Amino acid sequence: MSRVLVAGLCPLPFENTRESYGPGIRTWQFAWSLARGGHEVRLLAMKTPRAYEGESPAASEQRQGVAVERLGDVAFLDPATVRRAIRGFQPQALVGASLYGSAALARAGARVPFWADQFGHVMAEAQAKAAVEGRNWPLAHAWSLLAPVVRAADRVSVVSERQRYAAIGELGALGRLRAETCGYEFISVIPCALVPEGEAASPADGRADAEAAIRGRLAPPDAFVVLSSGGFNVWSDVETIVRGVEAAMGRHPRLHFVSTGGPIRGLETASYDRLKELVAGSPHAKRFHLEGWVRAERVAAYVSEADVGVLAERPIYEGLLGSKNRIVQWMGAGLPVVYNRLGDLGDLLEQRGLGLTFGVGDAPALAERLLWAVDHREELRRMAGSAREAARRELTFEATTRELVAWAAAPAFAPDAGVRARVRGPEDHATLRQRAAAAARRLPVLRRSEGLVRLWRRLLSGKG
């Protein structure tokens, strides 16, 4: 077995913070699975800004065979930090979990086999953020993270089959699809996974479980509860959610909507602001309950009291190429899912009958799915049961990370290690022709073809 240095983000799923994010689950998915596979694992985890406000988590701890070290964002992204960790730990493999973890490792420039994860398509997310802000600066920031990772990675993991093809394009654009790597499999698909029992935050003394989360507090005991949980990001289609839910409310007086999530502070707040605006103007505003972020230990209580979980995304590339952690967690908890059919996860639910789906941006179709769910409780329970079985069989940490764990047992460089030259474009060749003509004028004695061949070889190699 190997010593593996993992870099990722926290809060990790077992931490009882007020705000929790998908990259933390992704990080623990990798670190936990590697340790479970027998590897010696050290985890450098960047504390997501503002997630720990008013709290001071332990700087380091041992959990499930993983040595966890939490770092501020500045220290985490400083290449010197990673280099010190490499010198002290002497890992045989480096594993990035999420793009930020991968970028931190790539910047260190270590000559250690490197598995780089892309948890979703960062350029598509940057496009969505740019559209929300009306400015294109997010594209430059995203590329500054992505390009060094693609250049340095020996293996790459992505979150969906669709993103696999996007990643192949990135490899080609940066010169990695070359003679040496023809036939080499760069990419593994590691989908979002169900957090194992005991690895999610839970009430320490049981009191939180005894408190009503929804019924009798926010909604009547006999209400049909539609739940939305998690952050509202640049991809969130709050218009479709509110319009679809309020249309269903107009035809079913016991239907209530509960949200346990909020803005992504420091990244995206406009979507949540728009949600609040739409709810305030709804004729059924009293049946919308926006709880904001709730502590991690309380999330399970909301899920257990809800009838369905709902999520809608904008028709953009981010959703097409990515995935959604909350859908997988709902499936594993037995909560029926209502989700727009977008990307691999939407196809999975539709094709295997594991959830209710509707067209992207189709609020009337969402309303119809919700009303069907109200009137077909038994079919809904059977559907949720099948989804739960599928998630616990196919979307566990262990099931999704087998290729990663196997690679770590015998980590290896990609075939182009040591020969990753910059790909020359048309402009470069035009410059080379100019340099060759100038050299020929300076060296008139080079008349024979043999001499010209030698000169061209030097110029093309960049040594001329």
Q: What is the pLDDT of residues 135-145, one digit of tens each?
A: 999 999 999 99
Tell me the average pLDDT of the chain.
Answer: 91
H-state helical runs in 306-342: 317-321, 325-333
Residue 212 confidence (pLDDT): 86
Mean per-residue pLDDT, 191-219: 82
pLDDT in tens, 214-242: 999 999 999 999 999 999 999 999 999 99
In this prediction, residue 445 carries a pLDDT of 46
Q: Which residue has the tokens 């727009």?
A: 340
What confidence tens digit (pLDDT) does each residue in 79-98 have? 999 999 999 999 999 999 99
pLDDT of residue 441: 60
- Positive or negative, the CA dihedral 243, 248, 249, 254 is negative
pLDDT band at 450 (very low <50, low <70, confident <90, very high): low
Q: What band does 211 get if pLDDT is binned at 50, 70 and 90? A: confident
Q: Specify the pairing of strand 308-311 against strand 337-340.
A: parallel
Give the mean model confidence (pLDDT) for residues 163-176. Answer: 97
SS (HEC) of 189-252: ECCCCECCCCCCCCCCCCHHHHCCCCECCCECCCCEEEEEECCECCCECHHHHHHHHHHHHHHC
Per cent of the chain over pLDDT 90 is: 81
345 vs 201: which has the higher pLDDT: 345
361 alpha carbon, distance to own chain's centre:
22
For residue 436, count other CB atoms closer than 10 A to its CB: 17
So what's the pLDDT on residue 207? 52
pLDDT > 50? residue 447: no
Between 440 and 463, the higher pLDDT residue = 440
User: Could you give the angle at the alpha carbon of 430 between the alpha carbons of 428 and 433, nearest 5°?
Assistant: 110
What value does the mean pLDDT take over residues 190-200? 95
| pLDDT band per the 50, 70, 90 thresholds, residue 198 | very high
Range in 47-51, 68-72, 296-300, 392-396 with the lowest mean pLDDT: 47-51
For residue 286, pLDDT over 90 is answered with yes
Report, as an integer, the average pLDDT of 277-284. Answer: 97
- pLDDT (tens digit, 9 = 90+) per residue, 43-52? 999 998 788 8
The answer to whether residue 192 scores a pLDDT higher than 50 is yes
Identify the band that residue 264 occupies on the pLDDT scale cut at 50, 70 and 90: confident
Beta bridge partners of 313: 236
Greater pLDDT, 244 or 456: 244
Banded pLDDT at 53 (limits 50, 70, 90): confident
pLDDT computed for residue 454 by the predictor: 58
Specify the pLDDT at position 431.
59
Element (H, E) at 68: strand 66-71
Helix (H/G/I), strand (E/B), else coil: 464? coil
Give the pLDDT confidence of 416-440 residue by residue, as tens digits: 998 864 545 455 555 556 665 665 5
* 128-137: average pLDDT: 92
Residue 448 reports pLDDT greater than 50? no
- Neighbour tally for 393: CB within 10 Å: 10
Digit-coded pLDDT (tens) for 317-368:
999 999 999 999 999 999 999 999 999 999 999 999 999 999 999 999 999 9
Letter string b/e over residues 176-212, b meaning 16 or more CB atoms within 10 A of that residue's CB: bbeeebeeeebbbbbbbbbbbeebbbbbeeeebeeee
